Amino acid sequence: MNLLALGRYHWMKEIGAPALMKLRSAGRKRRPRGKASTCFGPPLACASRLKEIMTRHYFLSRYAESAMPVAWVTSGAPVEILRPFGFYTIYPENHGALCGAQKMGPELCSIAEEHGYHQDLCSYARIDLGVCFSGKTPAGKLPKPDLLFASNNICQTVVYWYKVLARTWNIPLILFDTPYNFGEIREGDIAYMKEQFEEMIPILEKISGKRFDEGRFREVIEIASRTSDTWGQVLATMKAQPAPMTIFDAFVHLAPVVSLRGLPVALEYYEILLKELQARVERGIGAVINERKRLMWDNIAIWYKVRDFANLFAERGMNFVTATYTNAWAETNTNLDKNRPFESMARTYSLVILNNNLNHRLHLMERLIGDFNVDGLVIHSARSCKPYSVGQYDLKRLLMERLGLPSVVIEADITDSRAYSEEQARTRLEAFFEAMDS
């Protein structure tokens, strides 16, 4: 690594980033506040801390290149194994969500399409390729990676997407291959995945220039497990009536457990968030005023519509209190065990929702509906995420038959607003609202 770049990174970390955060904080205080919605309770106080953490993460990433090894990582990849080698990690899916929320999805997707990538391809992939080809990003600048680290436990698209990046930049790609769980997980599959971790270590040592530190690795596993457990406790506070936050809040507060898992900052943040939510529960403070209906969301957020949907449902006293998407980082990651690091990582990352059969997902949704006292289900059929969207109409039918649960399917895309029809969504939602009130 370049010593000058390393010195610049540490200067920015110790002096530049704190100065930037202080300047941004002063700017927020001077900015006049808009009219507050009468549908919501008080905003979460720790939201400013979350913004500071993620702003700092992307800001410092600009100076990580050449100062330390940089890895781009898929959301379902076992990032814990990278932490002992000192990799600075960037999650293109998290960055894609940021681009979607900033309404940059169509622009960046179009750039990828101009290079020959079809509009039916995952919009996270198209955004990332658009950034790769143009350099445009709301984060200012992303560092060029030294390594691409992917897992096919969420979809096969990430494999081909990362292969394109590997060819473009002529850098190595490590794929963690997780056999699909048609039924119960098999011991032979666990052994196969453990061997992959063992084979990764010499490659990571060569790329990073660091020897594998098993003690540090076990510490990372412990932090990651506690982080996911605390995130699960955060989500569990929404079992309270009224719920102290909404799933639309959780979509945003999910960022650290995705992007910073295994680092102390993520655990520390969720401990702060959990305390605030527990205090709200004790005082009976709800995220939605006059919460009268409790809903469940299936699939990834529609990032460019999060605020609009939050307002639309809150105006009717409806609060989303659980989601299969936010639950994904709480459901399996608590299996991590520092005393059995490779085996527990294999189990954790092969048991994610999209690497399991639809029966598993049906039972999971039934459990969440019961645990959170859900009155209705909203399913996002995401054009971008076919593995997440396959079988949704069957799941909807089965849940309605078994539980009599009013349900609606919204067809959209996670970041590309060109695939969303406001008129169609409104028509379906109006029928859903009538069913909820009948």
Give the model confidence (pLDDT) of 237-260 as tens digits. Answer: 999 999 999 999 999 999 999 999
CA angle 215, 221, 223 (to 5 degrees): 105
- Taking only the tens place, the pLDDT of each residue in 179-233 is 999 988 999 999 999 999 999 999 999 999 999 999 999 999 999 999 999 999 9
For the stretch 265-283, pLDDT in tens is 999 999 999 999 999 999 9
Return the SS3 of 185. coil
Q: What SS3 state is found at 211?
A: coil
299: left (phi over 0), alpha (psi -120 to 50) or beta: left
Residue 320 contacts residue 299 (beta carbons within 8 Å): no
Cα separation, 1 vs 149, in Å, equals: 20
Q: What is the pLDDT along the chain (438 residues), one digit of tens a residue?
A: 688 888 888 888 888 888 877 877 766 655 445 445 689 999 999 999 999 999 999 999 999 998 999 999 999 999 999 999 999 999 999 999 999 999 999 999 999 999 999 999 999 999 999 999 999 999 999 999 999 999 999 999 999 999 999 999 999 999 999 999 998 899 999 999 999 999 999 999 999 999 999 999 999 999 999 999 999 999 999 999 999 999 999 999 999 999 999 999 999 999 999 999 999 999 999 999 999 999 999 999 999 999 999 999 999 999 999 999 999 999 877 789 999 999 999 999 999 999 999 999 999 999 999 999 999 999 999 998 999 999 999 999 999 999 999 999 999 999 999 999 999 999 999 999 999 998
Distance in angstroms (rounded) separating the CA atoms of residues 149 and 176: 8
